[in-house]
Amino acid sequence: MRVKKMKYDIKMMGHILSLTLVIAMLLTNITASAQGENIVAFVNVNVIPMDSERILESHTVVVEGDRITTMGPANEVAIPDGTQVIDANGQYLIPGLTDNHSHPDGMPVALALYLANGVTTVRVFNATPEDFEKKAAIDSGEQIGPRLYIGPSVNGLSAPLVAPIDQLNHAVAPFFVVDLGPSTVTGCEDARQFVNTARELGADFVKTNLGLPLESFDCIVATANELGLPVKGHISDEVRTEHYINSGAEAQHATELYPFLSQEAVYDLPARHEDDLLLVEQNLPILIDMILENSMPFAPTLITPEWSFDQYEDLEGTLQRPEYQYYSSQVMAMLSNPDTNVFYTVAGIGFADEAYRNKIRAFGLELTKALFDGGVMILAGSDSTFEGGPVYGYSLHDELQLFVDAGLTPYQALETATRNSAIAMGELDEWGTIEAGKRADLVLLSANPLDDITNSEQIAGVMVRGLWLTVEDLQQTLDDIVAAYEVIELVPFANDDLGISGLVPSGWNELEPGVYVRGNPEADPTVIVQLSAPGESAESLALSVLANFGVSELPAEPMDSYESAALGWSLYQLESPMAPMALALAETENAAYLVLMAAPGEEMDALAETLFFPAVDVLTPIE
């Protein structure tokens, strides 16, 4: 359990699964740092290179390190000695897919779900500090995952959405700045500082959000242009469509364009969704010309309203979809509650009328086809997020299907997640098609996606920067995620002698008051300790307990703090000769309180979610 990781777990109350458990791709002694020495050859494979609509039948593709080195007819390509040979047996090889609009929100489970669905590149909007950490780890080869292009967000949410966002603790400073309007405008200086900070931290772009004042937007764009950072995001009431697109910024979501096509041109939620769409015939040609003049690619994220409406119409049924099994019980509890499900909330604010929802569904398809026919470069993006939005990875395939429903061919739809994505990021010479010299991000499919776009889901394996992950590897990762969510039944306890009440794991053995072990301590170091000490300091109590684990001192500073209903806690991460430990300490005028959990490293974060944080949250002094 890493320090930064645990800090985010505290903010999310344990909603995030351990990287160790999620990224099970580091199995069979393969590591990201060693992938450069591997040579892999796909033989007897039908290549869909995505440079044009064609299939190169019965080819061999050789990969050395993270690059495609040779490609040609199977009977013409020599395979180097020591090569790992993958006999595709007539399967189909496509470039790795790109999700051009997603919100992993620091959740390691997202990385696994992307890869399991063939997504090897992700544009991350509203990037958190954890996303920056993951990008650095992936880029350095320390961690396996999709390539991340990340952008922090400067935000101006309208008032009706602030409460649910705050409940989700999604406002992670300094990357998510809530600006409620002119009374709280931060001004140009702060806008410039935001962009400069983003650049220093390694952002690939910056995101503007709803409610942003015009002055702040202009300063963001000017500063970003000076630093060579693209600007992408939402259009606010003050900025408006013409100004946004003509500034060179890249608008997101089909619904962002609706105000320009309406008489009631209101952009900020919730009023925007009263739009009438009466100016489509008049303004759509103007909109297309404006987009083309500014060379703006566009990700309509049709799946976003679709997913939101599905939940509003049948929340329980939508959450029964198989992909939700990879979210923790805490996240599912949040999604099941309409008050904390942001996408449900949005639908209820602006789309309560069924006829209007159906109108928006249909118009999204019509608009996407009109933009495509007009020459606009369409990008595939899912807007996936754990807050109630589409599920990571899976939803990108849903978006491709919606493109086909809109009238694109399967090839044209697939292009939005491959070649177009690389062009939009200015990196077509590096990836996006299958060619010698390009990055080895590839997906092997068991059926032809040009026949049926749903075949993009028939994944037989994924290669990410030259590292080959079989379908068995990918499935094992998903199985590990589900296994890590195994529920520990917690039962109430109250101990008058200890002066505390709280929760303890059912079926664990109580070695002595307040000390519960999962099994034989000589074989299993997993233990949770909950104690109080009248008249003692928290440090004194901690040191007396830690001595039993071979630890003689506390870290100089806690890694974070947490306020439960009863106590204010200082949180620590420690290593002992027995096992990693999570420690929470609280102190009042009368007593000190302690919750300590030790567990094997590979289980630490899962147990933190299901045991440690719940125990901390409810431990209460008995008066």
Condensed to tens digits (0 to 9), the pLDDT of residues 391-409 reads 999 999 999 999 999 999 9
- The answer to whether residues 103 and 389 touch, using CB atoms and an 8 Å cutoff, is yes
- What pairing do the DSSP bridges indicate for beta strands 250-251 and 442-445? unpaired
Q: What angle do CA 13, 15, 16 make, to 5 degrees?
A: 125
Token pair in block for residue 176: 């998510």
CATH T-level assignment (fold) for domain 488-621: Protein Transport Mog1p; Chain A (3.40.1000)
What amino acid is encoded at 412 in this protein? Q
In degrees and rounded to multiples of 5, residue 616 shows phi and psi of: -60, -40
First to last CA, the chain: 35
Helix axes 354-373, 280-293, angle to 10 degrees: 50
Cα 206 from Cα 155, distance rounded (Å) = 11
The full length of the chain comes to 623
Average pLDDT of each block of 10 consecutive residues along the chain (623 residues)?
25 35 38 57 98 98 96 95 94 98 84 96 89 89 92 64 43 34 53 88 90 87 96 90 96 90 63 63 94 98 93 94 85 84 82 87 95 98 86 97 98 98 97 98 98 98 96 89 76 94 93 92 90 96 94 92 92 91 95 94 80 93 89
Q: Using the structure block, give the residue that is written with the tokens 């009440």.
A: 501
Which pLDDT does position 487 carry in this prediction? Answer: 66
| Element of type H or E holding 232 | strand 231-233
- The answer to whether residues 303 and 402 touch, using CB atoms and an 8 Å cutoff, is yes
Cα 22 from Cα 608, distance rounded (Å) = 15
Distances (CA, A) of 539 to 296, 534, 553, 586: 58, 13, 9, 9
- The answer to whether residues 411 and 433 touch, using CB atoms and an 8 Å cutoff, is no
Which pLDDT does position 385 carry in this prediction? Answer: 87
Q: What is the DSSP letter of 318?
A: H
Q: Using the structure block, give the residue that is written with the tokens 């496509």.
A: 94
Q: Using the structure block, give the residue that is written with the tokens 């909603």.
A: 15
| Element of type H or E holding 585 | strand 580-587
Q: What angle do CA 546, 551, 554 make, to 5 degrees?
A: 80
Residue pLDDT, tens place only, 206-230: 998 877 888 889 999 999 999 999 9
Secondary structure percentages of the chain, helix, strand, coil, to 5: 40, 25, 40
Q: What is the DSSP letter of 34?
A: G
Instruction: Write down the pTM of the prediction.
Output: 0.78
What amino acid is encoded at 305 in this protein? P
- The answer to whether residues 362 and 80 touch, using CB atoms and an 8 Å cutoff, is no
Q: Taking the domains of the chain in order of start, what are their residue ranges?
A: 488-621
Q: Which residues pair with 596 in a beta bridge?
A: 529, 583
